[in-house]
Amino acid sequence: MTQSPLNLASHRLVICLGPGGVGKTTISAALAVRSVLEGRSVDVMTVDPAPRLLDALGLDASSPELQDVPLDGIGGRARGNRKVNLRALKLDPKVTFDALVARYAPSEAARDAMLQNRIYRNLSNALSGVADYMATEKLLELYTAPNSDLIVLDTPPASDALDFLDAPRRLLDLLNSRALTLLGGASRGLMGGLKMIDIAARAVLSAFDRLARLNLLADVQAFVDAFDGMYAGFAERAERAHKLLSAPETAIVVVTTANSGRITQATEFVAALEKAGMPVDAVIVNRTMASLPDPSEISSLDIPASLKRKLRRNLADFQMLHERETRAFGELRAASGEEISILAAQDLGHEPRSLSDLAEIAKHLELIRPAAARS
């Protein structure tokens, strides 16, 4: 197998981004398999709640732990005496959040109080952005572990590639918000600093709590108090995640298809990432057509003339599709900078269902335009 067109050996982290429905999860897995075939141990993590990646790798999609992928049938070069491994993980935000609370809680009592708190249990399961934030946390955990040479991150479908990066700030904003200050103020001795309208609002909430017997206010107060002492740890890791995502050893890959509308989305995506200081290393166009035969070959076939006519009509239809795909590549070339590699991943003709299918995609990634060296 030839050297990877993405030069994965020079990277420690690959982040696959793109809209839904373009096969981003498949490409993430294929890039991981490609690196294994080149002799590197790889961890691949999906943030997409759909279990497609683990299904394709033949693993248990209900497990929140890293799982070893059996490499039977595809091989993989060993590095010296070291065995090459492939592991996969489907992110479980709640499990990751619980582990963070256990790490940053100032005491076992504080940890237990937080994990049992009703507000925390709902927050860790349902808050918008928690999964994005926990993705960066789990990413840091994998990155600092000595078990792999490369990490591949499959992000969820999103129009904004920075959603998962911005999640730590959004979470901290919520925890420091006026609403939580209002609800948790009494137990932290802040009543003297609240405005009269805030005090009145607390009185109304307390009365509602007594009538409804929900103990909501007490739960929120306990939740806010329990987070005291944890902010610094969360903020420090958020800053580390920000630096990691834009580090030189991180490769940003945008996945698309040859559909004209998808190409437009991809070029807008690339521009947004570049503006945010996250330069894109490559765009991979998924499900591209195979090379078409020469029409003259049909004439030499020993088949009935009627069948030859059908074959020529079919070939003409495929040639039109191929020309449309070629125009889409031209649009992508014109809109991309010279430093961005453009690759094609050929369509298998069916959904990838096995590790062998992923290896087939990985082995035949084709570099459409070589990347110029970054300055």
Res. 312 pLDDT band, cuts 50 70 90: very high
pLDDT value, residue 76: 58
User: What is the mean predicted confidence (pLDDT) over 71-82?
Assistant: 67
**Element housing 80 (H / E):** none
Nearest Cα residue to 122 out of 28, 216, 26: 216
State the sign of the Cα–Cα–Cα–Cα dihedral 119, 121, 127, 131. positive
CA distance 89 to 72: 19
CA distance 269 to 293: 35
Match 């939580």 to its residue by tokens.
180
pLDDT at 215 over 90: no
In degrees and rounded to multiples of 5, residue 251 shows phi and psi of -105, 130
pLDDT value, residue 353: 84
- Higher-confidence residue of 339 and 320: namely 320
Helix 260-275 / helix 305-335 crossing angle, nearest 10 deg: 20
Identify the top-confidence range among 56-65, 153-162, 253-262.
Answer: 253-262
Percent of the chain with pLDDT over 70: 71
| Full-model pTM | 0.79
Percent of the chain with pLDDT over 90: 27
pLDDT value, residue 177: 58
pLDDT digits (tens, 9 = 90+) for 221-276: 666 666 666 767 777 777 788 788 888 999 999 999 998 889 998 998 888 888 87
H-state helical runs in 145-186: 163-175, 178-184
Q: Which domains does the chain have, with CATH numbers?
A: 8-93+130-162+248-369 (3.40.50.300), 97-128+171-234 (no CATH)
State the sign of the Cα–Cα–Cα–Cα dihedral 253, 170, 138, 120. negative
Inter-CA distances, 248 with 124, 128, 244, 277, 279, Å: 32, 30, 9, 12, 10
CA distance 41 to 58: 18
